[in-house]
Structure 1
Amino acid sequence: MNSIDLTPLYRSSVGFDRFASILDRALTSDVSGSGYPPYNIELIDDDKYSITLAVAGFVRDELDIQVEQGVLKIRGRHKARKDRKFLHQGIANRSFERQFNLADYVEVTGADLSNGLLTITLVKEIPEAMKPKTIAINDDVRVIEHKADDSKAA
């Protein structure tokens, strides 16, 4: 698959280079990749989200959650269990890795494992310095008077 030319985006915007690389990676990634484990992304509130993965059969110490450079990575690795002998094994017992690109200022605030569902909570916290602010326009007109330089007049 060919990459999209994002040159027009760069001509009229500043700071979208990360967005362009995310878009390019999404378009060139393997579409036929594994859908395991299935997941939901939910908008809880204007600035709160959750990602829920179905991780049946995994225990807490077999799951690893990391955030690095704006990418949330969730890995599941089953530990070897030699004491089990299956007559039929229909439940997936495979390792996985899922990645989610996080927007600027989205932070992972917690994770919970309950009933085979791993729920990761996220919050978008824009710093005060980045929030829009209204600038008051001063109506005072100030007249600056220039005094004649007496040393040049002599």
Structure 2
Amino acid sequence: MNTMSLSPLFRRSIGFDRLNDLFETAMQNDVPSYPPYNVEKYGENDYRIAVATAGFAEQELDVNVEKRVLTITAGKGDRQQDDKVQYLHQGIAQRAFKLSFRLDENIEVQGARLENGLLIVDLLRVVPEEQRPRQIPINGSQGRLETHSADQTVAV
């Protein structure tokens, strides 16, 4: 396995130290193939995860968020097996699954619904005012910082 060092990126970046952990997790090859799902982006801040949940009832599905990780799980529950049914081909798996998605700190889960055999989870990026881009005015000589020493204040 090739290893990738992100240390050159950290020379000029502050606060991205968790990014290395994210890349390490992404490089692992344990990507689930069941059930199939889409991660979709609508516009600037709207996202959606659509999970194929054919054959699962609403009460058999769970959507949870804990520590910025969205987890979608499904179990068979206490289904009654019909002894009269003999499957000639069983292509709808309906097996238990667990999907996990790491969420950015500004992503909020807006809701989840079951629609046409898809579990749809709507997400929204909510950027706080202090993180939005802003123009810094240049005030000439008015915006000077002052340094404070123990005995006196000196203008710089």
Tell me which interval the TM-score lies in, with the shorter structure as reference length: 0.7 to 0.9
Within 2, Cα distance between the matches of 1:75 and 1:135? Answer: 46
Give RMSD over aligned pairs: 2.0
Residue 51 of structure 1 is matched in structure 2 by 49
Residue 70 of structure 2 is matched in structure 1 by 72
Within 1, Cα distance between the matches of 2:116 and 2:70? Answer: 22
Change (3 A) 1:140 1:56: same
| Structure 1: unaligned runs, 5 residues or longer | 143-154
- The answer on 1:84 being equivalent to 2:95 is no
Residue 150 of structure 1 is matched in structure 2 by none
Structure 1, residues 5-33: CA drift from partner, whole Å, max 9, x if none?
Answer: 22222222121122211110111232xx5
Within 2, Cα distance between the matches of 1:81 and 1:141? Answer: 74
CA contact (8 A) 2:54 2:94 kept: no
Aligned partner of 1:9: which letter?
L
Q: Secondary structure at the match of 2:39?
A: strand
Identity of aligned residues (%): 41
Q: Looking at CA atoms only, which structure, 1 or 2, has the larger radius of gyration?
A: 1
Would you tell me which structure has more helix in proportion to its own residues?
Answer: 1
User: Deviation at 1:75?
Assistant: 0.5
Where do 1:5-16 residues align within 5 Å?
Answer: 5-16=5-16
